[in-house]
A = this chain, B = another copy of it.
């Protein structure tokens, strides 16, 4: 929606990269599953070369694993790794939040407010899950955008994508969702008043809550089946 309307159409390998990335995060493939390249080729209607380039990029990003001469597989999901991701995410995001509060100008405030507004709007249409997911990602990004560290934002994005892989396994929970949404609003207020200490505590809670929900769905982990 904010994206420019017809900037320049991407090449096939970029399109298939984005599509596959979303499908991996949405959990359309089983954890540990081996990806049959020719099946992907048929399913997504792309050639081998763009597909393989996308798979290579996804492997470098950490959403796939590449085994020497035996193709690509979806990484296993382990409770231990979820804890790692969530813990690190909390630390890095709190770090970025502090810097964002210190460096944020009025333009940043505007973007945070705008992103929050879009998030609330997206909340009104529960059937459009992907719209909300995108708005949610963008809200968190807007909140930290002014931190001034390109690399920190990059890692946070990467961790968020990894985290979502786990979070998306959990069934929708209206009560939790409501609590998380209230926190979003409170984060906006704390951003405007530049209350770093309170905001850090709240963001940490926010991630901790998401973490515990995702954790509940990971308790009975799938076996290490292949194929």
| A residues with CB within 8 A of B | 8, 10-11, 13-14, 49, 52-54, 56-62, 68-69, 81, 84-85, 87-88, 91, 95, 148-152, 154-155, 159, 162
Contact = CB atoms under 8 A, between A and B. Distances in A.
Q: Which 5 A-B pairs have the closest CB atoms?
A: A60-B60, A57-B60, A53-B56, A56-B56, A56-B57
Contacts of A8: 68-69
26 contacts: A8-B68, A11-B68, A11-B69, A14-B68, A49-B49, A49-B52, A52-B53, A53-B53, A53-B56, A54-B56, A56-B60, A57-B57, A58-B60, A60-B60, A62-B154, A81-B150, A84-B148, A84-B149, A84-B151, A84-B152, A85-B151, A87-B149, A88-B149, A151-B159, A151-B162, A155-B155
A68 B95 CA distance: 33
Nearest to A54: B56
A150 B14 CA distance: 28
B52 A10 contact: no
Given A11-B68, A84-B151, A151-B162, 8 more contacts: A8-B69, A10-B68, A11-B69, A53-B53, A56-B60, A84-B148, A84-B150, A84-B152
A66 to B, nearest CB: 8
A84 B103 CA distance: 14
Chain A contact residues: over half helix, strand or loop, or mixed?
helix
Contacts of A13: 56
A6 to B, nearest CB: 13
B88 A151 contact: yes
A152 B88 contact: yes
A145 to B, nearest CB: 14
A56 B111 CA distance: 32
Contacts of A150: 81, 84
A95 B53 CA distance: 34
A4 to B, nearest CB: 13
Contacts of A162: 151
